[in-house]
Amino acid sequence: MSDGHFVYTKVKSLEGKPKVFGGQCAGLVQWYTKVGKADTWREGIQVRGNASEIVSGTAVATFENGVYPNRSHGNHAALYISQDSQGIWVMDQWTSKPSISKRKMLFRGKNSDGSFVDPSNNGDALSVIIHE
């Protein structure tokens, strides 16, 4: 943990490695950090715009009302790498993805009802995982 964040400092070394812990997105952050079970995760600071407060390798996820929804789709967890004006670079996995790899989650904003557009692929939807 770094400043209350769960961090895997060798995040860039994961590129191309085999998926872990069943291939689910949450499994990646659970395997490489001590973040624990998803039902214990709480929402920390939003990732977008807070690059100076988030180190590479920090566990991040999408949240609803401060908790991780933990559904089979429509939510996501990953390891943060960096961000720019267009989106957030993460290291992630999911069951149909061939291996662990990095990708850019573009900023996609919110729907008219306030929910995030396509949260599993939306950099705006990511927050740091913390425990209370």
Q: Which pair of tokens denotes residue 98?
A: 């061939």
Residue 32: partners with Cβ closer than 8 Å, 6 or more residues away: 8, 11, 14, 20, 79
Point out the catalytic residue in the list 5, 73, 76, 131.
76
Give the strands of the sheet with 126-130, arranged side by side: 42-46, 126-130, 59-62, 77-83, 87-92, 101-106
Q: What is the dihedral of CA 51, 19, 27, 14, to 10 degrees?
A: -30
> Does residue 76 have an active-site annotation?
yes
Cα–Cα distance for residue pair 109/116, rounded to 1 Å: 6
> Does residue 131 have an active-site annotation?
no
Catalytic residues: 25, 76
